[in-house]
């Protein structure tokens, strides 16, 4: 019949693992089945969690290692005793049982600590998910309300709250609604975003001015268009396309012609687009150097612009491009020549 010592020792072996290497080996614990890795969501990387608890983990490793060494020593004595090479001490059973019980208690403490940490992570993840769901629902609600704004009168009544919203995307959507359903009297609402720090709002404001502004509002875009401007290229491009919209006129071509020599092909094409939409036959001469651009996209939009604003006299200029080494450019030249041929 097993002695109390044998029972204690057997319980300990099945409850906890005592490492046989004293360093860098953690004490294993049994995690309950109702907690799995799939239930744990954390915004913190695992490395951050480990770093945060590194001091506590080191202490646990040291305690576990010391207990392991002690237990292994006792087990060694027991083996020698059973082989008759050591005489059993009268207190050995009780002392060994106490050591094993102490080790088991320590393992239980470590297990409880790990479970508490897991539960904290689960609770934190649940709170984060709940907060995200509420924010998503609020954004959907605001989006639906903005979608209900269909007329200038609706803008007068409802748009200001959205323009003052804390969320940048809500503000951007509100500015775009003004560009779609507003009129020039609403430009005052978007002017303040031109000098803001958020490029998305600046870009939306520029596009809106291009859609509902009048030529006299071009002054709002001048800071983005003047030669030597330090504004971001994305905003300069938006301002150029705004000029090619409702707000621009042929009078503004001189303001933007310096972009034809810009190092950015996107800005060169945007400037050509302004001339294409607002230019007259006398502006074709500004486009001729762009026919020799090293970017075929620039060449293509230049040919298209000449076909739109030029005259029959410009047909000879475009004929060499019928044999251009790009199919799309050659096809654009063919279309442009056809347009010029049909002009009176």
The full set of domain ranges for the chain reads 4-136, 280-344
Rounded distance between C-alpha atoms, residue 153 and residue 121, angstroms: 50
Query: Residue range 61-86: average pLDDT?
Result: 58
Are 78 and 96 contacting, i.e. CB atoms less than 8 angstroms apart? yes
Cβ atoms within 10 A of the Cβ of 103, count?
22
Q: Which of 96-100, 149-153, 297-301, 303-307 has the lowest mean pLDDT?
A: 96-100
Rounded distance between C-alpha atoms, residue 285 and residue 282, angstroms: 7
Q: What is the pLDDT of residues 177-202, one digit of tens each?
A: 999 999 989 999 999 999 877 999 99
Q: 280-344: which CATH number, 1.25.10.10, 2.170.190.11, 3.40.50.10470, 2.60.120.10?
A: 1.25.10.10
The DSSP output letter for 228 is T
pLDDT at 37: 40
Greatest mean pLDDT range, 27-31, 41-45, 247-251: 247-251
Pull the structure tokens for residue 265. 């092909």
Query: Residue range 95-104: average pLDDT?
Result: 75
The CA dihedral of 49, 50, 51, 53, to the nearest 10 degrees, is 90
pLDDT at 261: 94
How many angstroms separate the Cα of 142 from the Cα of each of 131, 164, 178, 235? 17, 13, 15, 27
Query: Residue range 283-299: average pLDDT?
Result: 96
pLDDT at 103: 77
pLDDT-derived band of residue 27, with 50, 70 and 90 as boundaries? very low
pLDDT-derived band of residue 114, with 50, 70 and 90 as boundaries? confident
CA Rg value for the chain:
39
Which residue's structure tokens are 């620039």?
A: 298
pLDDT at 171: 92
Look at residue 25 and tell me whether its pLDDT is greater than 50.
no
Q: What is the pLDDT of residues 241-265, one digit of tens each?
A: 999 887 878 888 999 999 999 999 9
Look at residue 204 and tell me whether its pLDDT is greater than 90.
yes
Q: What is the pLDDT of residues 121-144, one digit of tens each?
A: 888 888 788 777 777 777 777 788
């Amino acid at each position: 019949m097993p002695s109390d010592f044998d029972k204690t020792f057997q319980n300990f072996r099945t409850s906890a693992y005592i490492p046989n290497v004293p360093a860098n080996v953690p004490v294993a614990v049994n995690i309950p089945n109702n907690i799995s890795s799939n239930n744990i969501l954390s915004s913190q990387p695992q490395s951050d969690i480990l770093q945060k608890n590194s001091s506590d983990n080191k202490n646990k490793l040291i305690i576990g290692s010391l207990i392991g060494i002690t237990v292994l020593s006792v087990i060694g004595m027991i083996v020698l005793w059973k082989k008759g090479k050591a005489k059993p001490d009268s207190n050995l059973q009780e002392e060994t049982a106490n050591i094993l019980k102490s080790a088991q208690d320590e393992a239980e403490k470590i297990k409880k600590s790990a479970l508490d940490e897991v539960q904290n992570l689960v609770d934190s993840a649940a709170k984060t998910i709940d907060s995200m769901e509420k924010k998503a629902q609020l954004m959907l609600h605001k989006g639906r309300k903005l979608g209900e704004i269909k007329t200038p009168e609706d803008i007068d009544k409802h748009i200001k709250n959205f323009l003052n919203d804390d969320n940048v995307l809500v503000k951007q959507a509100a500015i775009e609604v003004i560009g779609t359903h507003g009129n020039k009297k609403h430009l005052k609402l978007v002017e303040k975003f031109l000098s803001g720090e958020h490029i998305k709002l600046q870009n939306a404001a520029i596009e809106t001015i291009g859609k509902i502004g009048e030529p006299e509002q071009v002054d709002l875009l001048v800071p983005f268009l003047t030669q030597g401007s330090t504004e971001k290229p994305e905003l300069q491009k938006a301002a150029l396309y705004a000029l090619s919209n409702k707000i621009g006129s042929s009078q503004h071509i001189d303001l933007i012609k310096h972009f034809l020599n810009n190092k950015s092909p996107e800005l060169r094409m945007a400037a050509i687009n302004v001339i294409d939409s607002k230019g007259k036959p006398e502006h074709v001469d500004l486009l001729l150097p762009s026919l020799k651009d090293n970017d075929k996209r620039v060449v293509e939009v230049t040919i298209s612009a000449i076909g739109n604003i030029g005259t029959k006299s410009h047909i000879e200029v475009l004929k060499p491009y019928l044999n251009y080494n790009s199919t799309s450019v050659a096809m654009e030249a063919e279309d442009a020549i056809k347009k010029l041929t049909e002009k009176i």
